[in-house]
Structure 1
Amino acid sequence: MKKQPAAGPVTTRSEALDRIKTAMVEKKLTQAELADASDCHEKTIQNLLGGRSVRDQTLFDVCMVLGLDFHGLRDAWHGESVAVDNGGMNAKAQSGGVAPVYMGAYAQIAVDHYVGSYLTLRRSFSLPDTIVSYRTDITWDAEWPSLLFQERNRPDEPYAHRGRLYIPASSSFIHLVSLTKGAMRMIVVSQLDRAGEMRGIITTINKQRATMTPVATAILYARRENFDADAFGEITPKNRVYDEYKRLLDETVAEGYARLVG
């Protein structure tokens, strides 16, 4: 991948604009995609790329999406000189540890405890008395600053999801969202507790015979350092771990982490 040049700080609006356009090319983002990722109107991005005045908040959101140094670009955009380069740190290194505002603007250092592997449990959408168990890995994505999750060891591996974590500052719940060509799946779970668990609900689309049907059920993530060989798959009452898995899911509803109405 082509790296963003780090020759020094930008000092003019023209240089700031060049830096933004270069970052867009590197991340392969169109104007519409940048507007969507920055949570602003496409016309605002057109004004920005045309060198016209925009709000500092717009600059900040765009910089977070593109991994650019907001303070340096803001000063250059308003014609303020930049005397030093903060010890030679490049722009990406300075701001690469903060997720975009639309994802919660969380800093890497504040969410490092989420990084790891989790036993993931939910009930089967189609098989009675069956619990689906698989592994979910959460890592930090330095290229697009945010927490990234990847599902593994699913019995239906072709349907494994990969997405990002949205962590609102004023909520005790977080969101694991995957979005592929307009198809979205959302998981809402409690923030990671001292036991290394997150509990909540999953909403998605499931194939039922010839049709696709919206479904929802309780879900649990339990952090694990190691996994048993038979920990994953479609777990039935004949499996030795079924009772424990069922207890964990039942507690998720009984303790109020998810409420299934109707």
Structure 2
Amino acid sequence: MPTPDKQLSAEQSRQVAETIREEIARRRISRQSLAEQAKLSLSTLEKALGGRRPFTLATTVRLEQALGVSLRKAEAAPAVASSVNGDIAPDHLGAYSHRAVTWLEGAYITLRPSFGDNDAIYAYRTEIAWDPAASSLVFREGERTDANYTQFGEVAVPNQSGFIYLVTNRHGQHRLITVSRPTILGEMYGILTTLLAGRGSLLTPIAAPIAYLPARMIAAPTLGRISAGDPNYAVYRAHLKRTVDEPFAMFLPGS
């Protein structure tokens, strides 16, 4: 039997935090209100949701009772997703072998237009790696200034289209990134389709160009919202422009 103060793993804590944030947004309640219902201090809840402290079993149980939902159901996901084929990805991801996609693994500087400033660029890191439990490539974003919107998910590499798909699926809510296969230097370009968070609970579908640059390409990368005064701004802007200039992706004018 686990002890009440047992700490959840980093992955379990991340999944619990993700579910809690979704429940808070869906119910339109404050973190203060949730902390009071769960008989926790707001500081404890904030640190756990921010990744600065792992969730304990006792804290998780209190939050489950307050929300009336299971927060640990995601722990079973790796077992469900694991493949009996060893190093072969599931059919719905393209049935690729680990050996066939090792060239995709690594750290990337990810670029897209800033949704809050038309002249700025938003930059963050993305890691792509093989997950033995899921028997597929997975991706995880990091070093985002808007940490609450950090994404992670599966990578599909089907032979038919020649494109790569980074798919986030949280309780049926999807975010999809479609990018080209890497160029000779390793860059990938394509389209991001996601939801733009507005005031209150307002969400609006949005699409934008996106570029992945191997981290080794940028000697001193700058992350976050990048404006014209940043030393990397011109390089970042050129890569985003390349997405539509070559074109790796097309954006049709609205009617």
TM-score (norm 1): 0.64
1:161-180 deviation line (CA, Å, top 9, x unaligned): 00111111112211000111
Q: Are 1:28 and 2:37 an aligned pair? A: no
Gap runs ≥5 in structure 1 = 1-26, 35-64, 69-94
User: How far is the alpha carbon of 1:66 from its aligned partner?
Assistant: 4.1
Structure 2: gaps spanning 5 or more residues: 1-74
State the alpha-carbon separation in 1 of the partners of residues 217 and 211 from structure 2: 17
**Which residue in the other structure is 1:214 paired with?**
205
Q: Please report how far the alpha carbon of residue 225 of structure 1 lies from its aligned counterpart in structure 2 after TM superposition.
A: 3.2
Percent of pairs with identical residues: 37
Higher Cα Rg, which structure: 1
Separation (CA, whole Å) in 1 of partners of 2:225 and 2:101: 31
Name the structure 2 match of 1:245. 236
1:195-234 mapped onto 2 (5 Å cutoff): 195-210=185-200, 211-225=202-216, 231-234=222-225
The equivalences for 1:36-75 within 5 A come to 65-68=81-84
Match of 2:102 among 112, 116, 139: 112
1:105–1:124 CA distance, 2 compared to 1 (3 A): same
> Aligned-pair distance for 1:103?
0.8
Rounded Cα–Cα distance in structure 1 between residues aligned with 2:217 and 2:189: 20
One-letter code aligned to 1:146: S
Report the counterpart of residue 168 of structure 1 in structure 2. 158
TM-score norm. by structure 2 comes to 0.65
- Contact conserved, 1:67 with 1:96, CA < 8 A, in 2? yes
Structure 1, residues 196-249: CA drift from partner, whole Å, max 9, x if none? 111000000011234211111000001123865651110011111111111110
* Code of the aligned partner of 2:94: G
Matched residue, 2:60: none
Name the counterpart of 1:92: none
| 1:103 counterpart (85, 93, 97) | 93
Secondary structure of 1:225's counterpart equals helix
User: Residue 127 of structure 1 aligns with which residue?
Assistant: 117
**AA matched with 1:130:** A
Residue 181 (str. 1) matches residue 197 (str. 2): no
1:40-81 per-position Cα deviation (integer Å, ceiling 9, x unaligned): xxxxxxxxxxxxxxxxxxxxxxxxx5422xxxxxxxxxxxxx
Q: CA deviation at 1:183?
A: 1.2
Q: Take 2:142 and 2:166, find their aligned partners in 1: how far apart are those partners?
A: 15
Deviant stretches of 4+, over 4 Å: 226-230
Structural RMSD (CA): 1.9
Sort the Cα spacing of 1:217 and 1:126 in 2 relative to 1 into closer, same or farther, 3 A: same
Q: Give the CA deviation at 1:154.
A: 0.8
Going from structure 1 to structure 2, the CA distance change for 1:182 and 1:122 (only over 3 Å counts) comes to same
Structure 1 CA distance for aligned equivalents of residues 147 and 82 of structure 2: 32
Code of the residue aligned with 2:251 in structure 1: it is L
- Matches of 1:158 and 1:230, distance apart in 2: 22
CA contact (8 A) 1:126 1:208 kept: no
Q: Which residue of 1 aligns with 2:183?
A: 193
